[in-house]
Structure 1
């Protein structure tokens, strides 16, 4: 294991990450809110620690193998999440405990959107901007991780299967080198953010709110600058813009690249995962609209459609924005929306959950097993589009699903051990493991009232969900450290 090379790389990352403390400090100067000092302190501290880790190891250039790759990816999130908490620890108002600061920073960086804060609109502008910026940076990190890095390690959603379609199914990267891949992804990501913030501004937000909410929308994060989230603006137009960009951000970014490069929108229609994703969104919106209409929850049909569409897309893409208290909706809708987050967005998107392609392959495998019961001697293949998938791909999906279920059960039982009731423990686990944010019960509004022990457990759940289980789970195997 090339430990000194790993330390050098982490030192570089921390030193680079320290630069992200500067924009919030500048925001504090612009708005004169007095909240800039913690960010200056965090900048200096992070820069110094990063250089201390980098400088003695600067000449270490050992070849990194898959094992080092796994460790670097996990440490990337853990180390940056820890350093991201520094400004929150240094804050005088609000005064956060270590558990609260870590929870909030990891929630931002993993684009979960769960918060321990209340009275958000009264916080310094620097803090508000920093929370949104964390989600935006985390979202970009997820894209590069999923599209460029994890395929090299043989894990994640991007190399589950091989087929002649763009997106998560390609054996090779979009461009020959990771640097080129990351650069093209940045162009798309930044362009979508600019378009989203401009649309929000045109719909009535001021520039500060427009930029902040564009950050968390494109990252499918869910943080807002108000306690009432998107409901603060009370605008169907803003809600529609949010839904539109959430759907775009939940689509595989490789598809966006392929569409831009070929200048052909038919690329989307040829992708099976995209079609299944849109079908799920349409079904959820229709079901929510039908139940809300029959129960007479809202006064008009337009309002019902607005609320049904917004909450269905926000929850199922794992954004977690809110315009109303969905946990008070009638019948099975709250549980349905929590369960929809298990599916999440497409592979290679900023969405959380198990990813649409995995759930679709599990469905196809279920159909194949039923057919085998009827015709035991027949040979059935699973096809994605026109490409038959090898059985090892299906085995990998089942392996992921098994690990996901096991981690979910263990985390939920641990939360119940801290004193949380069944509904709160279940929904909190689902919300953090799927990087969703809002839950039910005691965590429907925020996570500030649960114990510190529960917060640490849920922070681990966020990392598990963001790293797609296996990337983190492999570190707990003796084989990894013996190899």
Structure 2
């Protein structure tokens, strides 16, 4: 357990040290009380984490599959609690609401129980958005450094960056060596964030709004720090940049390091990325047609309709849920939109859902089984659209789908006992599980009340607690979570 404590303490220290950013924002806006409280929280937390790190130094830190999976789950659970403390103490929120916001932020769900967001201290609002940015990095770290090396849940056992490929061993310093592998990924993540930030500034957004949009866009989060709609606050160029950021973040093009000798070839070989772009293009066309059917005017094909359609499509595929203005996403039936969000985007992306890679693997097996019924002795290739799948990926993709549907059924049952009808309970469960909270609010009827279609802030304490569990399960890989629940392993310890 010393290795688990070391990794958990290191993650906690880095997490609490990031409070420097909201502290600086608070200083810039003269929020002295919030600055003092955040400083105390960060200092005490970093000190305790540092003591834990020092206490575990000098011991053997072998790294095994079980330790790494357990650390991954504990880091996610621990960060949700630590993230709620600044919101509760400095933001003066009830801890239940603060924990909901923390879970929603770190899982990039975008669901919120806050009212009057614009009246919140800037430092607290920045921390709420920074949680989404941190959650995006945690998602990538989970994929690249935990799931891919162990090939869990149909995730490919490969990455393009050599420094992320490693073998889990019981060597004395394996735990420390594992920690070093997070820094290259963090460097790429920060570099991409800086580029996106300057793109938003160039589009006409002010510096603070550019930071807000960068953190929620690059992590494919769904939290809007303002009560006003995007279209009323930002210019058309900013919306285009936002749509492009969501579209690219839905793939792995930003995060994988490609060979400098021929990077274009490596990008072209990423078939999954091009399928994601194709889905976004098709959905954009559907929204444009929907705009035309609603307006009924000859001039319906305008810059506004194209931009709004592109942003809505990229938002759905990336499981973000942002929309330029209310009513755009619901132009298409919820069955169609939620089905696309259920599939999600790239497997090495910050988007949630089943992922296009696993969908391709299951389609390959379905095609093979159907072909064998007709030609029993034939040899069917394991590929689709020039993308190859090995037997392990095909077999392990199905448990993820089964667990996803099972958790969705349990979530629907747990949320159906409160206010709202069956449709509201079903869409809320799906939106939370897919980490796309704004999609639930997008389909709320115009004359909806708390009895017919309750908002997240109108959920009971029990429903908010269930929602937190759903969001965490939606962000983590189900196979990895259920792996640590193996009672046979823990009894034998």
Q: Structure 2-normalised TM-score?
A: 0.87
Relative to structure 1, the CA distance from residue 431 to residue 478 in structure 2 (aligned partners, 3 Å threshold; closer, same or farther) is same
In the TM superposition, what whole-angstrom CA distance separates every residue of 1:366-410 from its partner, at most 9, and x where no partner exists? 233332333334332321565653333211011111111111111
Relative to structure 1, the CA distance from residue 327 to residue 239 in structure 2 (aligned partners, 3 Å threshold; closer, same or farther) is closer
Greater shift, 362-371 or 336-345, is seen at 362-371
Corresponding residue for residue 108 of structure 1: 105
Corresponding residue for residue 257 of structure 1: 257
Corresponding residue for residue 174 of structure 2: none
Greater shift, 399-408 or 145-154, is seen at 145-154
Corresponding residue for residue 468 of structure 1: 477
Corresponding residue for residue 173 of structure 2: none
Corresponding residue for residue 280 of structure 1: 279
8 Å contact kept, 2:229–2:326? no
Residue 188 in structure 1 maps to residue 212 in structure 2: no
Corresponding residue for residue 464 of structure 2: 455
**C-alpha displacement at 1:186, in angstroms?**
2.8
In the TM superposition, what whole-angstrom CA distance separates every residue of 1:415-464 from its partner, at most 9, and x where no partner exists? 11344432222222222222222114469895211111111111111211
Corresponding residue for residue 94 of structure 2: 97
- Distance in 2, matches of 1:15 and 1:287, equals 46
Query: Please, which of 3, 16, 19 is the counterpart of residue 18 of structure 1?
Result: 16
Relative to structure 1, the CA distance from residue 444 to residue 291 in structure 2 (aligned partners, 3 Å threshold; closer, same or farther) is farther
In the TM superposition, what whole-angstrom CA distance separates every residue of 1:73-105 from its partner, at most 9, and x where no partner exists? 00001001101100111135xx42222111101
Aligned pairs for 1:195-344 (under 5 A) are 195-253=195-253, 256-258=256-258, 261-296=260-295, 300-302=300-302, 303-326=304-327, 329-330=330-331, 332-344=332-344
Relative to structure 1, the CA distance from residue 178 to residue 8 in structure 2 (aligned partners, 3 Å threshold; closer, same or farther) is closer
Which runs of no fewer than 5 residues in structure 1 stay unpaired? none
Aligned pairs for 1:52-71 (under 5 A) are 53-71=52-70
In the TM superposition, what whole-angstrom CA distance separates every residue of 1:36-86 from its partner, at most 9, and x where no partner exists? 233123213423442454444444434232111111000001001101100
- Distance in 2, matches of 1:199 and 1:12, equals 32
**C-alpha displacement at 1:8, in angstroms?**
3.4
Relative to structure 1, the CA distance from residue 271 to residue 466 in structure 2 (aligned partners, 3 Å threshold; closer, same or farther) is same
8 Å contact kept, 2:416–2:425? yes
8 Å contact kept, 2:12–2:49? yes
Corresponding residue for residue 391 of structure 1: 391
8 Å contact kept, 2:421–2:453? no
- Distance in 1, matches of 2:384 and 2:261, equals 22
8 Å contact kept, 1:272–1:384? no
For the aligned residue pairs, the C-alpha RMSD in angstroms reads 2.8
- Distance in 2, matches of 1:15 and 1:179, equals 13
**C-alpha displacement at 1:30, in angstroms?**
0.6
Which runs of no fewer than 5 residues in structure 2 stay unpaired? 168-176, 445-449
- Distance in 2, matches of 1:278 and 1:388, equals 19
8 Å contact kept, 1:327–1:444? no
**C-alpha displacement at 1:182, in angstroms?**
3.4
- Distance in 1, matches of 2:77 and 2:274, equals 35
8 Å contact kept, 1:70–1:153? no
**C-alpha displacement at 1:218, in angstroms?**
0.8
In the TM superposition, what whole-angstrom CA distance separates every residue of 1:190-244 from its partner, at most 9, and x where no partner exists? 2221121112112221101101211111111122321235234242211110111
8 Å contact kept, 2:204–2:237? no
Corresponding residue for residue 120 of structure 1: 117
8 Å contact kept, 2:403–2:478? yes
8 Å contact kept, 1:368–1:380? yes
Number of residue pairs the alignment of both structures matches: 471
- Distance in 2, matches of 1:375 and 1:283, equals 34
Q: Structure 1-normalised TM-score?
A: 0.89
Corresponding residue for residue 412 of structure 1: 412
8 Å contact kept, 1:292–1:304? yes
